[in-house]
Amino acid sequence: SRPTGSTPTVRQAGGTGPQRVLLVDDSRSIRTLLKIYLMARSFEFLEAESAEEGLKVAEVEQVDLILTDFHMDGMNGADFAGQIRASTNARLSKVPILMMTGDPNVAEVRALGQKAGISAFVRKPVSCAQLMTLVDTILPLPRATAK
């Protein structure tokens, strides 16, 4: 039995719960590859196949980082990032967002992303080392609580 007054919904007792990453990409193989690349960081992953689905997930789940593709059917990654930044949920509006693209017009896509408030930008195909460096920069490892 749980002690009185404890809240079962708080996963991160003492900050030990895994950080949660939302992967938004219309390609399942890309989402799988990103998970493999990020395995070193013991993340918990949430996935969405579209920006619209990503917004729904981000509104109901606690996320610490969002990785989104730029080109998707429907809303693109920059518009998605803009919606996240405009969120009335203060925590969600500040979540780091990494946007990826395979678009040949990198400068234009990067500019759209930066205008929307992305934290970092990477060109596909992304290497594991490149992705980990960016993720470690925009979402530092949680500091272990000293006993």
Backbone angles phi, psi at 24, to 5 degrees: -120, 105
Asked if residue 123 has pLDDT above 90, the reply is yes
If pLDDT is split at 50, 70 and 90, which confidence band does 145 have?
Answer: low
Asked if residue 10 has pLDDT above 50, the reply is no
Q: What is the CATH number of domain 20-138?
A: 3.40.50.2300
- Judge residue 34's burial from the number of C-beta atoms within 10 Å of its C-beta, 0-12 exposed, 13-18 middle, 19 or more buried: buried
Alpha carbon separation from 114 to 99, 118, 120, 142 (Å, rounded): 10, 5, 8, 26
- Which pLDDT does position 142 carry in this prediction? 80
- Which pLDDT does position 98 carry in this prediction? 98
Tokens representing residue 30 in the block? 């890309």
- Which pLDDT does position 9 carry in this prediction? 37
Mean pLDDT of 81-94: 97
